[in-house]
Structure 1
């Protein structure tokens, strides 16, 4: 049986190893990683899927970011990375991690969630392409997706995404 629970400090190395296994070398050169440098993740929304033997089958992390919108700086939650061990992919574990993180974000008062990903996959969670929201280059604008956790949370929000104050 797999249990989803909050990531602990003791999980850090195992989560990093899982991310290395699931993503291409150089993953830390991606623009989203520049938004995470020097910023603590939102600990309550960093989750692991733990097997009975204690090993990790999956993990998701979330980070605070700011959007320099014409109406003022807006907070958003940057979802990801999310990773599932290759032997467990296709079982719905990634979706379970995402749904649990979104549920927690809503409970904790976040209004909007941002990610860089494939719309065909994330559409089922309610994500849509964001117009006018700019991630650091080089990011394909078609992959910048958002989800409003509160009605109208993305209305009028445009601009550059920057690191949250560290």
Structure 2
């Protein structure tokens, strides 16, 4: 898929579980003021889905969009359920993947509740230095829930 192409748009049912073999995507929603709020990034060798939409077959409240040219593999819910029956160990694998996704989400929430915005940025850069080079700064600001101007100020302080 090409840069800026969507895997998922708001109000559509998410029918696939994607594995990113190469590339980078973001998941986001648009708030009531029209601002994009990035909730996660997924890159090479990561799984991405809108779990609620995928499992419950309900319309998504999120978008998933490629940030750069991205190659994905995907499974439908029906294919995944059939694989669980045919290869029971896969169900365990996907449970572990789902648990890791949940842990990452909880960790992000904990970090956001416990850290000042400047500390969130420095923690992000320290833990994902190569990632920061691949993502536009305004997207990082959205993910960290800070303004692009404040992010620029923080970046100037580190130079």
Shared fold, TM over 0.5: no
TM-score with structure 1 setting the length: 0.24
Please state which structure has a larger fraction of its residues in strand: 1
Asked which structure has the greater CA Rg, the reply is 2
- Higher share in helix: 2
Return the TM-score normalized by structure 2: 0.25
